[in-house]
Amino acid sequence: MTIKLHCFGESGNAYKAALALELAGLDWAPVFVDFFGGETRQADFRHINVMGEVPVLVDGDVTLTQSGVMQMYITEKTGKFGGETPEEAREVMRWMFWDNHKLSSQAGMTRFLMNFLPEEKRPAEVIGFMQGRLKAAYAALDAHLAGRDWIVGKALTNADLSCCGYLFYPEPFGFDRKDWPEIDRWLSNIEGLPGWKHAYDLMPGSPADRA
C-alpha cells in the first residue's frame, strides 16, 4: 500500500519526512496541501490533524503527525536511519530534539518572515533576533561536524535528515553554506546520496510549480 504524505514543497518539516521516505526506498506519494491558500485551517484538514500542521503521513490505518515521529516510524518499518547501537539511537534522538528546538523551528519561522510575508509586514527586529539565535545553532552544528561525515556514527541517520531539513532551501534566512565549511561538506555528503532530491523536486507546490 502506498504511503501518503500530505505536504507542500516549501515545508522543511515535510521535507524531513519526504526525504526519509525516498531514501528508505519506501512506496510513497505526496498529497499537495495548499498551505498558502489556508487549507490547514479548514475543517477537513483539521480532521486528519487537529494541530493544523503539515506534514501528515497516512499508511493504511496509521496516521502520523510531526516529522520526527514519521522518521521514527520509517526506522521501525525499514531498520534504517535509527543508529547502529542503543547509544547511537539515543544520540540520534538527542540531535533530533535539538534540531526541533534550536534549528528547524527558528529557521522555519525566520524564512517565513523574510520571504512569505508581504515586505511591509516583515518585522526587522524579530528577524535580526532570530538570525542571531540561528547563528549560534549553526556554530554548534559546524563544530560537531568537524572530523565527521555524519552527525551520528558512520552513516546517514534521522539526525542528519532532521537537521538538514531547512538548510537546502534557496530563500534567504541568514544561512550561507560558504560561511560554515563543516556544514557545507556535510550537506554535500547528503546531496551525494543515491536518490537524494531537493525539496522542490520531491514535493509539489514549490515556487517552480507556480511560475
The enclosing domain of 161 has a CATH number of 1.20.1050.10
Q: Are residues 93 and 158 in the same domain?
A: yes
Whether residues 18 and 71 fall in one domain? yes
**Listed range (3-7, 146-150, 203-207) with the worst mean pLDDT:** 203-207
92 and 146 part of one domain: yes
Q: Rounded CA gap, 57 and 48, in Å?
A: 10
User: Is 182 found in the same domain as 115?
Assistant: yes
Residue 205 pLDDT class (50, 70, 90 cuts): confident
What is the distance between the alpha carbons of residues 116 and 121, in angstroms, rounded to a whole number?
10
201 in the same domain as 154: no
Residues 188 and 202 in one domain: no
Split into its structural domains, the chain has a count of 2
Quick one: 105 and 20 in the same domain?
no
Same domain, 64 and 96: no
Residues 90 and 175 in one domain: yes
pLDDT in tens, 59-85: 999 999 999 999 999 999 999 999 999
State the pLDDT at residue 1: 87
User: What CA–CA distance (Å, rounded) separates 121 from 149?
Assistant: 40
DSSP the chain: --EEEEE-TT-HHHHHHHHHHHHHT--EEEEE--GGGTGGGSHHHHHH-TT--S-EEEETTEEEESHHHHHHHHHHHH--SS-SSHHHHHHHHHHHHHIIIIIHHHHHHHHHHHHTS-GGG--HHHHHHHHHHHHHHHHHHHHHHTT-SSSSTTS--HHHHHHTTTTT--S-SS--GGG-HHHHHHHHHHHTSTT---HHHHSS--HHHH-
Domain encompassing residue 36: 3-80+197-210
Q: Is the pLDDT of residue 104 over 70?
A: yes
**pTM given for the model:** 0.95
Assign residue 72 the CATH number of its domain. 3.40.30.10
Q: Does 111 lie in the same domain as 60?
A: no
Residue 146 shares a structural domain with residue 69: no
Q: Same domain for 90 and 182? A: yes
